[in-house]
Amino acid sequence: MKILITGISGFIGKNVARNLLKKNVQITAIVRPNTNFKRIAEFENKVKFIEIDLTNIATLRNFLSENAFVQIIHIGAIRGGRKFTKQQYFDANVNATEQLIINAKKHNSKFIFCSSVGVFGAIPKELPANNFTERQEDNYYHFTKIYAEKIIQKHVLNGLSAAIVRPAITYGEGDFGFPFTLTKLVDKNLMFLPNHEVKIHLTNIELIVQAFNKLSEIDFKSGTAYNVADLHPVKLTEIVDFINQELHQKKYSRHKIINVKFFDFGEKIARFLKNELWVSRFELISKSWYYNTQNSYTNLGLKHIETIPNFKIVTNWYKGL
């Protein structure tokens, strides 16, 4: 079976590709030109690499016009907070997605798209957020994911076989995103906590791999979107205590709890400076964000994983750095 995958050099894509290679499949991976080879070295002689920048729509279109696949797993994207122009974001996250969709529909291929719970905004307007929750274009990255999902649903009406996977913030060994930053701040005693309850909903990388693996194997209802996260959200204070316990064998200092108004002030400054990355950082540790994942567990049979104690994979990896 011939599979095309994008985003193989990233955390999610790399783990999904590792799982696919356990099967009798032929994988072609689109990678950005000049990608650091260390990021994809493990796939050498196992995967066929095609160097195309997803912002280069003409080159992507030419490649797709000459190739067909049984499945297209589209994970690659420009993530939020990066220093790219809006046009580059739109080309990589929307226009490239549509080119892949056109190819999938032309060849009756299965199309599996990695979106984000960010379509509900950094902080959803209702909790838990579900497939009917209002979308929020609170930053340009989220806007592009919302737009891409709309294009998918339009093509589903015209015969495209597609499923959408929306991971919450993902944790696992080798990822330097939010979970790593949280762990580092706790370790350095620099993590400040708001003086009210905050619940967050993280995703073990194993669940993301399971979701893509299952969708690759089953006949799904086209157009279905799956919010993927651990079985239950956790209180921010509990995960911070767990991290500190793993690193320093004690609970985190309660002297680091401050009035939430300081987070609100920091968020306002970040918005004034139009710094989307820092806006998200202030929001993610001062407001609750969690999701309805029922159809993912019911339809995809995901393993029941709780963030605590499974977050230990991050703290163990962190201690080894």
Over the stretch 215-244, which tens digit does the pLDDT of each residue have?
Answer: 999 999 999 999 999 999 999 999 999 999
| Distance from C-alpha of 248 to C-alpha of 6, rounded to nearest angstrom | 39
| Distance from C-alpha of 251 to C-alpha of 253, rounded to nearest angstrom | 7
User: For position 93, what pLDDT does the model report?
Assistant: 98
pLDDT tens per residue across span 16-63: 999 999 998 999 999 999 999 999 999 999 999 999 999 999 999 999
Among 71-85, 265-279, 307-321, the range of highest mean pLDDT: 307-321
pLDDT tens per residue across span 127-143: 999 999 999 999 999 99
User: For position 80, what pLDDT does the model report?
Assistant: 76
Instruction: Tell me: pLDDT of 278 over 90.
Output: no
User: For position 285, what pLDDT does the model report?
Assistant: 94
Domain positions in the chain: 2-175+199-233+290-307
Tokens 């499923």: give the residue: 163
> What sign has the CA pseudo-torsion 42, 47, 48, 50?
negative
User: For position 24, what pLDDT does the model report?
Assistant: 84
Q: Compute the average pLDDT of residues 275-301.
A: 94
User: For 2-175+199-233+290-307, which CATH superfamily applies?
Assistant: NAD(P)-binding Rossmann-like Domain (3.40.50.720)
**Residue 299 identity:** N
Instruction: Tell me: pLDDT of 81 over 90.
Output: no
pLDDT tens per residue across span 246-273: 999 999 999 999 999 999 999 999 999 9
Query: How many other CB atoms are found less than 10 A from the CB of residue 222?
Result: 17
pLDDT tens per residue across span 143-158: 999 999 999 999 999 9
CA–centroid distance for 40 within its chain: 19
Q: Is 189 helix (H, G, I), strand (E, B) or coil?
A: coil
- Reference 200, options 291, 137, 121; nearest CA is 291
Detail the DSSP E strand segments found in the chain: 2-6, 26-31, 48-51, 71-74, 110-114, 161-167, 170-171, 193-194, 199-200, 203-204, 224-228, 234-235, 257-258
Helical H segments across 218-320, by residue range: 236-248, 260-272, 276-284, 294-300, 307-310, 312-319
